[in-house]
Amino acid sequence: MAGGQERILRGRIRSVQATKKITRAMELIAGSRIVKAQQRVAAAVPYSEKITEVVRDLAAAGAGQGSPLLAGRDTVSTTCYVAIAGDRGLCGGYNAGVQRATEGEIKADVLAGKQYVVVPVGRKVEKYFRFRGYQLSQAFGGFSGAPSLADAKAIGAYVVELFTSGQVDKVELVYTRFVSAGNQEVVLRPLVPLTVETVAGGDGKAGPADAPTGDYEFEPDPSTILDSLLPSYVEARIYAALLNAAASEHASTQRAMKAATDNAEELIKSLSRIMNRARQDSITTEIMEIVGGAEALGSGNVKDPLPRDPQSVVETVHTHGGHASVG
């Protein structure tokens, strides 16, 4: 029985060791991808800041009064939530954070008697809301680990069309902002309409009221420039959100895989101790059986029908698999 238990434990240890190799490899891969994702986030910051500054100055100059992207609705009855998550799992609570945040906003709208629609970006968030029967619009996915500007343009064109056609009255982004490799936070950022407060702070944050503005001369007129820049501004905002989400996903994957590797190491140690204890018990039991058998043969307590000459005793011991010395 002990031998069977030892074989079972050896099999479990081999299985956990194989899993540990996989999680360790995934941890290293995610760690290498974090660096590239951070570089992409940092490279996109100057463009995002500059286009935000230009749009803010154009809006301050009185441009875009008739632009549909700047014209807010008197009554917001339908809100579009662009939920950005991952295409894969094994990343800890990354996907669940975006799902919970979006779900909380939806429940608040339902309680207030308002309508909603979800634009899922990422296969995991799409499956989550589709399985639970939420109202979904067009889904985007397949690029959560390495988004491109073309992906941001496709999402931007779609949500702008939803807003300008009157299907929704407001568009908001729900994604995970990358602060550092050890810190990410789920944020909710307004995207459309582009109010003065939204544009002033960039990335959906309200800027200070006394923020300095530049003195520019625009050619052609500010309204024409703003009309051409607003779609690019929306794309830049979405692209920044996608890059932040990708970096956050890699960071969450690295942490989750490191935790899994550490847990596998602890499980291997625990199983090894149990297996060694079982093997030691098995060896001790075998020794006790051999010693007991030898003592029984030596003391003559066992009735032996065979002749008691020395050669016969030796042959009997060998037949029973034991070892004894004949005096």
Residues designated as active site: 91
Residue 99 neighbours by CB under 8 Å, 6+ apart: 83, 85, 125, 128, 129
CA atoms within 13 A on the CB side of 46: 3
Q: In this structure, how many other beta carbons lie within 10 angstroms of the beta carbon of residue 49?
A: 14
As a whole number of angstroms, the distance between CA 103 and CA 83 comes to 10
CA atoms within 13 A on the CB side of 154: 13
Distances (CA, A) of 109 to 71, 102, 112, 186, 220: 22, 11, 5, 19, 42
CA 189 to chain centre: 21
Taking a C-beta distance cutoff of 8 angstroms, is the pair 159, 230 a contact? no
Token pair of 183 as six digits: 């810190």
Taking a C-beta distance cutoff of 8 angstroms, is the pair 322, 297 a contact? yes
Q: Label each residue of 91-136 as H, E or C.
A: CCCHHHHHHHHHHHHHHHHHHCCCEEEEEEECHHHHHHHHHCCCCE
As a whole number of angstroms, the distance between CA 130 and CA 126 comes to 6
